[in-house]
Amino acid sequence: MLFSITHSNARVFHAPLPGFFFNIQQDNLLPYALIAGGSKGIGYSIAEALAKRNYNLILIARNEDSLVAAKNKLEAAYGVHVEILVKDLAFENAATEIAAWCTERKINLKMLCNVAGLGGEHDYLSYPLDSLRYMIRLNLESVMALTLTLLPLLEKNTPSYILNVASMAGFAPIPIKNLYAATKSAVVSFSYSLRYQLKEKNISVSCLCPGPVFTKPSIEKYTKEKLGNLGMKMAVPVKKVGEVAVKKTLRGKMIIVPGGLAKTLSGVVRFFPRRWVAWFYYRFTK
Ligand SMILES: NC(=O)c1ccc[n+]([C@@H]2O[C@H](COP(=O)([O-])OP(=O)(O)OC[C@H]3O[C@@H](n4cnc5c(N)ncnc54)[C@H](OP(=O)(O)O)[C@@H]3O)[C@@H](O)[C@H]2O)c1
């Protein structure tokens, strides 16, 4: 079931004119960005960077409390309008229901950000089959389905933007994180192809491929254990990731890797043959 909270239909903006005040229905004028996985972590930092640039927002996540907290924070700090939808994106009908919700409300959609994803630390060989399917549905199917179902709204509001969140793990096979790396590499490949398919429609496609971002303590612990000092140095603060992602998406950049060291290493990883990189990861991060 799709659940939404609408804060107000229109925010009234007072522009001083000589001798009187003039009302503008500001919500109808500002463009909307939809952030799938926008209540926390990288999704929230993308939401914040967009709010700063006067985008109204639609945030989607499963947990209502964190969505409400994100909405209150963003509305208070930036004066934009934030809609929230409580939804599990891995469910089969999620994309269709979200697109219907946006279409009914004639949302002026300028940007779609596919951020939600999971699984960075799981070993494929010991992962239960139902969890494996859930990860594939969330990391990959939801990205492709949301893009397809929301395309008509993005086409109405060109120039418009799609930002897919993959990972540096999408640049190479990583034996232990096999499944995660495979889903993220599919997101990278999908984004490259889609960029060419949508170029003539004036819709720009970008793909964010971050290295480690410490959005939760487990990521910091895993990075320290597996990648040591190098991994710790590659990490980029979450706020910076959102800011870089939005800035470069609006400039039409295709692959976005925040942080100098992560960017250099991702170049190296992409240069070497995949079997060498797979061997290296297996040997040193087992
Ligand atoms: N953090 C890193 O080091 C890192 C590095 C490279 C790439 N990435 C990628 O960046 C993305 C965000 O990572 P993050 O670390 O910021 O994650 P996070 O802090 O766990 O935030 C994930 C967001 O997505 C939502 N979400 C998760 N599962 C969902 C589902 N099934 N349906 C709807 N919403 C869902 C979460 O809210 P709810 O839990 O309430 O649903 C939350 O808003 C992921 O795709 C991840 O693979 C992360």
Q: Is the pLDDT of residue 13 over 80?
A: no
Q: Is 103 near ligand 1, meaning CB less than 6 Å away?
A: no
pLDDT per residue over 119-128, tens digit each? 877 888 999 9
Q: Is 178 near ligand 1, meaning CB less than 6 Å away?
A: no
Q: Is 66 near ligand 1, meaning CB less than 6 Å away?
A: yes
Stretch 100-118: mean pLDDT, rounded?
Answer: 97
Closest atom of ligand 1 to CA, residue 66: 40
Q: Report the separation in Å between the CA atom of 44 and the middle of ligand 1, taken as the mean of its atom positions.
A: 10
Q: Is the pLDDT of residue 29 over 80?
A: no
Instruction: Give the span between the Cα atoms of 265 and 146, in whole angstroms.
Output: 31
Q: Is 117 near ligand 1, meaning CB less than 6 Å away?
A: yes
Across the chain, what does the average pLDDT equal? 90
The residue contributing the CA closest to ligand 1 atom 13 is 42
251-256 contact pairs (CB < 8 A, 24+)? 252/204, 252/206, 253/206, 254/191, 254/192, 254/195, 254/205, 254/206, 254/207, 255/188, 255/206, 255/207, 255/209, 256/206, 256/207, 256/208, 256/209
247-252 contact pairs (CB < 8 A, 24+)? 247/49, 248/206, 249/111, 249/161, 249/163, 249/204, 249/206, 249/208, 250/53, 250/161, 252/204, 252/206
The share of the chain scoring above pLDDT 90, in percent, equals 82
Instruction: Give the span between the Cα atoms of 95 and 201, in whole angstroms.
Output: 21
Tokens of 62: 């499963």
Q: Is the pLDDT of residue 169 over 70?
A: yes
Q: Is 197 near ligand 1, meaning CB less than 6 Å away?
A: no
Q: Is the pLDDT of residue 19 over 80?
A: no
pLDDT per residue over 55-67, tens digit each? 999 999 999 999 9
Q: Is the pLDDT of residue 49 over 90?
A: yes
The share of the chain scoring above pLDDT 70, in percent, equals 90
Stretch 29-41: mean pLDDT, rounded?
Answer: 95
Question: What was the pLDDT predicted at 21?
Answer: 31
Question: What was the pLDDT predicted at 7?
Answer: 41
Q: Is 43 near ligand 1, meaning CB less than 6 Å away?
A: yes
More confident residue, 25 or 96: 96
In this structure, the strands spanning 82-86 and 3-5 are: antiparallel
Instruction: Give the span between the Cα atoms of 238 and 165, in whole angstroms.
Output: 13
Q: Is 240 near ligand 1, meaning CB less than 6 Å away?
A: no
**Sheet of strand 203-208: strand arrangement:** 3-5, 82-86, 56-61, 32-36, 109-114, 160-165, 203-208, 255-256
3-class secondary-structure state, position 39: coil
Question: What was the pLDDT predicted at 1?
Answer: 45
Question: What was the pLDDT predicted at 119?
Answer: 87
The residue contributing the CA closest to ligand 1 atom 28 is 116
The residue contributing the CA closest to ligand 1 atom 46 is 117
Question: What was the pLDDT predicted at 121?
Answer: 77
Give residue 93's Cα distance to chain centre.
Answer: 20
Q: Is 121 near ligand 1, meaning CB less than 6 Å away?
A: no
pTM: 0.91
pLDDT per residue over 143-158, tens digit each? 999 999 999 999 999 9
pLDDT per residue over 65-81, tens digit each? 999 999 999 999 999 99
Closest atom of ligand 1 to CA, residue 89: 32
Confidence band for 28, pLDDT divided at 50, 70 and 90: low
Question: What was the pLDDT predicted at 30?
Answer: 85
**Burial of residue 92 (number of CB atoms within 10 Å: 0-12, 13-18, 19+):** exposed
Closest atom of ligand 1 to CA, residue 62: 41
Q: Which CATH architecture has domain 25-285?
A: 3-Layer(aba) Sandwich (3.40)
The residue contributing the CA closest to ligand 1 atom 18 is 41
Q: Report the separation in Å between the CA atom of 91 and the middle of ligand 1, taken as the mean of its atom positions.
A: 16
Question: What was the pLDDT predicted at 194?
Answer: 98
pLDDT per residue over 179-217, tens digit each? 999 999 999 999 999 999 999 999 999 999 999 999 999
- Residue corresponding to tokens 């990075």: 223
Stretch 31-37: mean pLDDT, rounded?
Answer: 98
List the domain boundaries for the chain.
25-285
Residues 175, 139, 47, 190: is their CA dihedral positive or negative?
Answer: positive
Question: What was the pLDDT predicted at 156?
Answer: 97
* Four-CA torsion 71, 74, 78, 84, nearest 10 degrees: -30
Closest atom of ligand 1 to CA, residue 42: 16
Q: Is 63 near ligand 1, meaning CB less than 6 Å away?
A: yes
Q: Is the pLDDT of residue 142 over 50?
A: yes
Residues 163, 167, 168, 172: is their CA dihedral positive or negative?
Answer: negative
The residue contributing the CA closest to ligand 1 atom 6 is 167
Residues β-bridged to residue 21: 16
